[in-house]
Chain A
């Protein structure tokens, strides 16, 4: 019974991690330099979830965990801004500025989905609590 709580908690953690990554993507949607000051647009990140067998019970219940956070390979958006201080100096894209490949619509849909998934895990926790308190009523 307690393992159900652990499992739902692992779901909560995983979904919160997704939301954190999404807010990172949205916050950085105009970042043109990385943390070390190197020029290069921010790359959108995706959280990859996988089943976590560390919490597995004998009957086959298991939790979930964040397997990795992977960068999006989509090409950066390029805008023609020859006067911009970070504009590309030479080559095919001369005069263009590279902007992060963060797609707002995609991020918002993901955020909505993550928060719904979070809510459903909270719902299961409520159910677990209800069942546990019913069981404990036998003692009363």
Chain B
């Protein structure tokens, strides 16, 4: 029962987005913390790959031939959160690290915006649910 309530709307998708954004935030925080380590190479998660996997999962879920209420969106296979890739920053500094702090901070705030947007939408979904439960507007 509650499975179908939470699966009928976009909550599982938003949940994945929030999860991904939080993991990516940890990794970008790692880059900032290690900015003065000689030879440290910046790390990142592949956002495009994540979007691909997520949209595939949504397609699969919306397929009318699939059995109903399949559960949460599956992004486990080829989980983009495991694809930790070197971030391609270009300039290699003399101490063999390749972090440009401006870009890292920009990525951090982009990631934060994505995270907070997903949460804001999720919150309004839950508000709708609670209105439906209390039968009041």
Contacts and interface: CB of A to CB of B under 8 A. Distances in A.
- Interface residues of A: mostly helix, strand, loop or mixed? helix
Contacts of B21: 131
Contacts of A54: none
A8 interface: yes
Interface residues of B, number: 35
B35 interface: yes
A7 B35 CA distance: 12
B34 A134 contact: no
- Interface residues of B: mostly helix, strand, loop or mixed? helix
A64 B112 contact: no
A11 interface: yes
Interface in A51-104: 51, 57-64
Contact of B112 (A3, A7, A63, A130): A130
Interface residues of A, number: 37
A59 B23 contact: yes
A22 interface: no
12 contacts: A10-B33, A11-B34, A18-B36, A58-B82, A63-B33, A114-B36, A117-B36, A120-B101, A123-B32, A127-B108, A131-B116, A134-B115
Interface of A: 1, 3-4, 7-8, 10-11, 14-15, 18, 48-51, 57-64, 113-114, 117, 120-121, 123-124, 127-128, 130-131, 134-135, 137-138
